[in-house]
Structure 1
Amino acid sequence: MTDIQHLARPDGETLAYKQVEGDGPVVVWVGGFRSDMEGTKALALDEAAEENGWAYVRYDHFAHGVSSGDWKKATIGRWREDCIALIDHLKRPVILVGSSMGGWVSLLAAVARPEAVAGLVLVNPAQDFTERLMWPTLPDHIRQAIMRDGEALITDPGLGDYHLTKNMFDEAKNWLLLDGPVAIPAPTHILQGKLDESVPWEMQLRLLEKHEGGDVRLDIIKDGDHRLSKPHELARLVDAVAQMRKAAAT
């Protein structure tokens, strides 16, 4: 079992991560909202890395998994900063593999570190989800509580009990991507489930319209949902990462 390592942050918090030593650019798993580095897709890539000699890192966001942090202080900007800090710490070219919210974080990191990001593989990326997907679909009484009290408790069978804060929504406005050009020189490969009820596939068309720079490939998986964790979907993810590594080496 890979040992947990910790990246210290300037404010005393720590990012927990696990690393597989290997060659080529470092494949970095960037997880989704309230997920951790022990998820199905992260582990599938870990197995592929071990089998194929890839350099690979999976980590937990601030206030996720075994990383430190107060959930009520979590923001998109914080998750972006931590991803950038990990890229800087690795000191090697990276291929960012971002799932859902992790896709948004990966895009933001690629904009900030274009010289370090050799490619992106995005799984149902949820860029701008706070503004475009989450806030509009919250029940009215939840939105009112957030505006009145600064936070509201959410009970979700899949994600557990957690608070949504006004600060998270307000701060996220600083990092919205789809209202302007998205300048990323690295190639990008998007895997999107047609049946995804959390991130509509049409959102990726807007990303393609705004994207400037490297080539973008969009694969619509007709029977795929938000998880994209069936065996054939995991194989497709591993293959997409393998092809991105190959392209980065040429």
Structure 2
Amino acid sequence: MQGQAVPRVPTPRRYLMCPPRFFAVDYAINPWMDPSQPVSAKVALAQWTELRDTYRRLGHTVEEIEPQPGLPDMVFAANSGTVVDGRVLGARFRAPQRAAEAEHFRRWFTEHGYRDLTMPEKINEAEGDFAWTGRVLLAGTGFRTDPAAHAEAQEVLGVPVVSLRLVDPRYYHLDTALFVLTEATDAAPAQVAYYPEAFSPGSQQVLRRLFPDAVVATSADAECFGLNGVSDGRNVVLPLEARRTGLGETLSRCGYEPVYLDVSELRKAGGGPKCCTMEIRK
């Protein structure tokens, strides 16, 4: 069932991002990456800059971490930390090509005064597979994050965790198949958008039970990384193609304001708006 059009209220957010100055596709660790195809770090940086500036224009705070040579995927900051109520759970990557990113983000948090910080023992690709709904942490598994990391996240962050199994390798992280439109409050439940076919049958049932008012996306929405969106409760940043697929129109009918951006170069590495955006929740 699609959501009803109700007044939507944006809330200021704080994000951590990493400029893609060393962006490249030198290896393939997901189905979207093709090292034989040309990519442009200049174009990727321009698209990233527009994303960052859009957040600031919408009233959000954006902090930046310094990119490092030899880590072309460091731009995808969402994969390197999960922050809820000021508690930080770092990342541990499955792919060796990205492993060093976790330490750079750990240092950033330490240098910026975060004392309640834990580095995981289990493989955990952070907000790539963790989505905070305001009440529970949705946790993906199947391709990257270990199932055991879900229990670890619950212990470290002190919030209830709901496990969801991903079954389509194109949607290897939870944030490629689901995103939170509105977090739960005392007055209203959370609302999400998701692509059902990316999940196992049991996980689909869980999502229907938890979010009967969800925005249910199509295969076309998912294929353009439309589910890799970022919402502040009213404004929803989406890939430009989501206008064509109809996802943006659906969200408009639900009272949201779509904001379309070109992220086509970043998508060559399997990323979109959310992949580039770690949310810091104090």
Q: TM-score range by the shorter chain?
A: 0.3 to 0.5
TM-score by length of 1: 0.34
The answer to which structure has the higher helix fraction is 1
TM-score by length of 2: 0.31
